[in-house]
Structure 1
Amino acid sequence: MAEAGASEVVLQDSNSKHPQPHTTTEVGSDTGSTVDTRTARQKLSDIFTIFASGAALISDGYQNNLMTMTNVALRKEYPKQYTSYYSTAVSNALLVGEVIGQVIVGLTCDYLGRKFAIIVTTLMIIIGGILATAASGTTIHGMFWMLIVARGIVGFGTGGEYPASSTSASEAANEQNLKQRGPLFILVTNLPLSAGGPIAVSIFLIVLSAAGQNHLGTVWRVCMGIGCLFPLSVFYFRMKMLNSKLYRRGAIKKRVPYTLVLRYYWKRLLGTCGAWFVYDFITFPNGVFSATILSGVVKKGPNNVRSTAEWQLLLGAIALPGVAVGAYLCNRLGRKNTMMLGFSGYLVFGLIIGCAYEQITKILPLFVIFYGLMQSLGNMGPGDMLGLLSSESYATAVRGTCYGISAALGKTGAAIGTQAFTPIQIHLGKRWTFIIAAICGVAGILVTYFFVPDLKGDDLAQEDERFRAYLLSKGWHGEMGEDDLKALADEGVPQAMVEDVKRA
């Protein structure tokens, strides 16, 4: 599908009755210089939106990695009752909730606004965290089921954070610092998400040291409760935030032309959905069950839980620098190339660990280093780029929806990977979890190469203009925007651009 070329922002006449097109800056007619038209409150809101997104996404990373050590603790506390069925069910509850949250909140943040969606997701994480902390039942299995339901509610909130926080952060970064939007977006989204793993393990170790290994029930409940503090810390700022200027001009709240959206973005959707599915199929089970893998390698003893947590912390620390490397490369190497490079890390290290599993697991530090490097390259590539590309590939009117669908397909892959993890280990052997990761690395490279656009970090307003021109060329003339920037779709779009789209 051909797309129209880049457009120029055209100023309306000063006597026009209609509002300006949805740009963060206006271009001066004499000098070509840009003048920021945002109000002081909007500028402040953009700054707080960026940092509040980062602070809130720490809670997502924390919740995603909380079950890593909790699985070990529950298995130690309830060796007979906490079977692989319940271990998988509790882990997958978060994923199922995330899939539902990503789709519903993705639609919601396009229809009702970024602010409304963000407040809903924050409340869901807090409510679910409280229920998980207080999980109980007439039987132990009943307690597990309450934990499953509570983790599903948390999952709805953390899943909704992906489209809600990420689209808000991308739009705010676009208006705050266009040239560094890519690195800034990564540092406030995937960095806190990835940092959530080491933070979760560190908190687990601190609580374990305070409570002792004979009170594991207290340990995992306290860790669940601490997860409520992260969203609470930014709730006030989220209540005060404004929807971005891009959203207030580009939103479509009535008669959304989804058929035209699919015709225009089908290839990009295949790319972001497919790559995210493959990535989460590998990374999520390898993250959730990494402590289980390590506990099988760590020498048995009275301090097995503590030793496993310490090695898990090192594993998470090794994986973290990849996020910063990806932020550095995204503008220099390009989003698409960086993502393919990251997928190649699964191919290389997955084959090394898988083919030499029996030998390498006898040298625990070497195993942890190679395992961490595989995860670090994953963070550098698809971990960084998928969120960035999903926030840049689509127009503001459908950014939340398309981002949510892409992320939901990713979490579907995570749920399938988590469900398949134990059967793979039982029927094929532990080495095959890494060999399959290598195979998925090849699949990720192919999907990225053929379907993911090679974006350069252009102003998001340009994609909005191209999309509006496409809708006009297909005969759609609905209303776009909200509040002070509401206007009909064809206002501010040069007719020449519409004609270019028709000829394309």
Structure 2
Amino acid sequence: METQLNEKESGLQPSEAQIVSSVEADPSPEVSQKKQSMSNLFTIFCSGFALISDGYQNNLMTMVNVLLDKEYPTEYNSTRVSNALLIGEIIGQITIGLTCDYMGRKAAIVFTTLMIVIGGILATASNGATIKDMFWMMTVARGIVGFGTGGEYPASSTSASEAANELTPKQRGPMFIMVTNLPLSFGGPFAIIVFLIVLSACHQSHYSTVWRVCFGIGCIWPLTVFYFRIRMLNSTLYRRGAIKKRVPYLLVIRYYWKSLIGTCGAWFLYDFVTFPNSVFSGTIISSIVKDSSIMKTGEWQLLLGIISLPGVFIGAMLCNRLGRKNVMMLGFSGYLVFGLIIGCSYDKITKILPLFVIFYGLMQSSGNLGPGNMLGLLSSESYATGVRGTCYGISAALGKTGAAVGTQAFTPIEDNLGKRWTFIIAAICGVVGILVTYFFVPEISGEDLRIRDEQFRAYLVANGWDGEMGEDDLRAIADQGIPPATLEEAEHKL
């Protein structure tokens, strides 16, 4: 009677309550609850602080592109340098996604931090016998930075999600957003603020000093949390659910194929729109501002970045109330509405620069509200701990592939169809994003991640997998501790 009452009060189904109680009854003999809780707090804090660095690196080229175009109008290739970061991020997301599942979140996070610092130092020191050689060094350096920032997506985000789940499962969604997409989004205006301060300190000249200092400052933020990252612990979820040998990838694909189509497809569409519109927004604004000085362009760019931030907070407030899936479709709807408004009235709206920047910012804010917030959250919640980093990395890598394609296609679209079509195509992507989300993205209610882990484990066992999960202090043979009702449910789905 008491067990039934507790299950009813918790709001869990009987099999779900059995899962939670079975895991809670198996504490680690090596790590105290207090030590684990402290590690979880530092993991969440450090993830947020480090992801500011990622946002800074992703958005730094917005104004640096404008500056380098003025300093080296014939030698500089903005697309190549911007795509170097993207290609590095794609490789980093897939590689570190696998690494953080095999070797642990901590090892992956420490490595990505080092890569960002090393790449930032090399970018700052970019030089060569010719200007062309200098830009090739910058391209390689930005690729190394991209590997680090790309790896941060699965490593930091999965560890933050697992830590938040252990601290406060019901508020995991809003907390995750506030330490992932908020710092990533804040990195945009933050990069512009740093750029404007450095440009002012250099009296709006000495361009080489400006971009080198801005690259160098990007090394500081990951170093400030490096010590805490070395000291962090892997989450209890990881130490119980990791699969380090004989990963059944075919079963993983059979179990998660629909979710993978949803997160990969939606992320591709989101980054296809948002990345080139962020990277080239400075160029767009500088082409329509009357006083086309770098300082004036930067000030309008800062306003654009600030307007895009409220969407993050609104999405965080709505994710538990409306559901992750509905909020993501709402955000894609913003692309449709604001993309069509800007695209269809481009010639008129660009004559009123403040109005153009406001609508441009609202389009980006709707992206933050929906897919910007929800894609990382859903990718960290939809997949079991043993393959969370891998599936998250694949989804994010498809997103960055969309960003690379969008960046490469942006200039040809402008040149051949006109600038208005960059916004009309964003509206079209919004419609496709709504459809992909509706048909393929799972509806996650925010339940304890341990429940999804044990349901996945029951599915593997029901399909004949007999491997091991977890690390030494919380290792479990495949079917150990799975409630009979959960195993029966998995067998019934076959």
Please confirm whether the aligned pair reaches a TM-score higher than 0.5, indicating the same fold.
yes
Deviations 1:177-214 (A, max 9, x none): 11110000000000000000000000000000001222
| TM alignment of 1:333-352, pairs within 5 A | 333-352=322-341
**Partner of 1:412 in structure 2?**
401
Query: Is the contact between residue 7 and residue 466 of structure 1 (CA under 8 Å) also seen in structure 2?
Result: no
Query: Is the contact between residue 7 and residue 465 of structure 1 (CA under 8 Å) also seen in structure 2?
Result: no
Of 420, 423, 428 in structure 2, the residue corresponding to residue 431 of structure 1 is 420
1:99 aligns to 2:99 (yes or no): no
1:458 aligns to 2:466 (yes or no): no
Query: Is the contact between residue 278 and residue 440 of structure 1 (CA under 8 Å) also seen in structure 2?
Result: yes
Query: Is the contact between residue 262 and residue 440 of structure 2 (CA under 8 Å) also seen in structure 1?
Result: yes
1:163 aligns to 2:154 (yes or no): yes
Deviations 1:305-337 (A, max 9, x none): 000000000000000011000000000111000
Deviations 1:18-56 (A, max 9, x none): xx95x4x459xxxxxxxxx95211110000000000000
- Partners of 1:288 and 1:185 in 2: how far apart? 25
1:403 aligns to 2:411 (yes or no): no
| TM alignment of 1:101-116, pairs within 5 A | 101-116=92-107
| TM alignment of 1:28-427, pairs within 5 A | 39-82=33-76, 86-300=77-291, 304-427=293-416
Bigger helix share: 2
- Partners of 2:33 and 2:16 in 1: how far apart? 23
TM-score by length of 1: 0.93
- Partners of 1:214 and 1:52 in 2: how far apart? 36
Query: Is the contact between residue 6 and residue 462 of structure 1 (CA under 8 Å) also seen in structure 2?
Result: no
- Partners of 2:174 and 2:291 in 1: how far apart? 43
Q: Percent identity?
A: 73
- Partners of 2:344 and 2:51 in 1: how far apart? 36
Query: Is the contact between residue 344 and residue 441 of structure 1 (CA under 8 Å) also seen in structure 2?
Result: yes
1:7 aligns to 2:15 (yes or no): yes
**Partner of 2:5 in structure 1?**
none
**Partner of 2:471 in structure 1?**
482
- Letter of the 2:436 partner, please give it: V
Query: Is the contact between residue 72 and residue 291 of structure 1 (CA under 8 Å) also seen in structure 2?
Result: yes
**Partner of 1:15 in structure 2?**
none
Helix, strand or coil at the partner of 2:170: coil
RMSD of aligned residue pairs (Cα, Å):
1.5
Helix, strand or coil at the partner of 1:379: helix
- Give the drift of 1:349: 0.4
Distance 1:167 1:6, change over 3 A: farther
| TM alignment of 1:436-455, pairs within 5 A | 436-455=425-444
- Give the drift of 1:80: 1.8
Aligned length: 478
Deviations 1:250-286 (A, max 9, x none): 0000000000000000000000000000000000000
- Letter of the 2:237 partner, please give it: L
Helix, strand or coil at the partner of 1:8: helix
Unpaired segments of 5 or more residues in structure 1? 13-19, 28-36
- Partners of 1:363 and 1:470 in 2: how far apart? 58
**Partner of 1:469 in structure 2?**
458
- Give the drift of 1:461: 0.2
- Letter of the 2:243 partner, please give it: I
Query: Is the contact between residue 19 and residue 482 of structure 2 (CA under 8 Å) also seen in structure 1?
Result: no
- Give the drift of 1:6: 7.9
- Letter of the 1:364 partner, please give it: L
- Partners of 1:124 and 1:201 in 2: how far apart? 23
- Letter of the 1:195 partner, please give it: F
- Letter of the 1:279 partner, please give it: Y
Query: Is the contact between residue 11 and residue 26 of structure 1 (CA under 8 Å) also seen in structure 2?
Result: no
- Letter of the 1:266 partner, please give it: W
